Amino acid sequence: MNPRAIELLCDRALDGLDPAEHAELAQLIAYDDVSYELAATAIDLSHGLHVREPLPEHLAQRIEMQALQMRAPARPVTPIKQKQKRSVFPWLAAAACFAIAVAALIWSGRPRPTALAPLPPAPEIELPKPTLAQQRKELLAAGAKPKTWTATTDSAALKASGDVVWDNDKQRGFMRFRGLAKNNPRESQYQLWIFDGARDDRYPVDGGVFDIDKETGDVIIAIDPKIRVREPTLFAVTVEKPGGVVVSNRERIVVTAKLSG
């Protein structure tokens, strides 16, 4: 760079330039070099730094050598200029290098930032499963219609009442009983049969076996069809041996519920 341009840049960083000097600098450089202002700022900032270690001797010598190499050649002062120029560039360059070196030393003594450990994944909260009563209400809310049980003269059905709710599209349903006699699972169990208009009535669909452990209050049982029901027409509950049977002799039918359509 032109020595005169360097001199003007140093003056601008320290004292500022008058209009004539600004015009002269614009003629000497094709772009606005602000590195000298940045160097001066670094020096100002370095005044507030507290160095815990002296500058290494070899680094100080290197800074001094670089400053001497960058010294601009002396040139006579133009008589028309009243402001006395100072030989500031070598000092400014050396001081800027010193400030940067001091900052590096201080930074090297600080602990390096470490990456934050990733947060553990949020624990999965398992929501409680809806009760059978709640599931039955959901089925009713979706449009399923309850069908009332009709009790037979079987001794287990003397006080029986309740209904059955079935959604054929979802193949899902629930039975509700009140007053159906308790059973001893070691002796007998109740079994649901679903008569299907698309199948032979001799072989209704097995809807699952269940027990009644109380006679008062509502007892809700989920229906468990073993095969798909296509056209349900009638639900019937029988008393069978423990574990149920494949084909019922229908000797003990306790309740039935007819479906329309």
Residues 96, 142 share a domain: no
- Which residue range(s) make up the domain with 55? 3-74+85-109
Residues 221, 147 share a domain: yes
pTM across the whole model: 0.54
Residues 141, 47 share a domain: no
Residue 119 in any domain: the answer is no
Residue 126 in any domain: the answer is no
DSSP, collapsed to helix, strand or coil, labels residue 257 as strand
Domains of the chain: total: 2
What pLDDT sits at residue 217?
81
What whole-number distance in Å separates Cα of residue 134 and Cα of residue 136? 5
Count of helices and strands (H, E) across the chain: 6, 9
Residues 234, 142 share a domain: yes
Residues 70, 174 share a domain: no
Residue 115 in any domain: the answer is no
Q: Where a domain ends, among 65, 94, 109? A: 109
Residue 116 in any domain: the answer is no
- Which two tokens mark 9? 């840049």
Q: Which secondary structure element, helix H or strand E, spans residue 222, and what is its range?
A: strand 219-222
Tens digits of pLDDT across the chain (261 residues): 677 777 776 777 667 778 888 777 777 676 565 565 556 555 555 555 444 555 556 555 655 565 555 554 444 444 434 444 444 445 555 555 555 444 444 444 555 555 667 778 878 888 888 999 999 999 999 999 999 999 999 999 999 999 999 999 999 999 999 999 999 999 999 999 999 999 999 999 999 999 999 877 889 999 999 999 999 999 999 999 999 999 999 999 999 999 864
Hey, what long-range contacts does 42-45 have (CB within 8 A, 24 or more apart)? 42/96, 42/99, 42/100, 42/103, 43/92, 43/95, 43/96, 43/99, 45/99, 45/103
What whole-number distance in Å separates Cα of residue 62 and Cα of residue 93? 12
- On the CB side of 90, CA atoms within 13 Å amount to 13
- Which two tokens mark 234? 């009638």
Residues 61, 144 share a domain: no
What pLDDT sits at residue 214?
83
Torsion angles phi and psi, residue 25, rounded to 5 = -65, -40
Contacts of 16 (CB under 8 A, 6+ apart): none
Residue 123 in any domain: the answer is no
Contacts of 21 (CB under 8 A, 6+ apart): 8, 11, 12
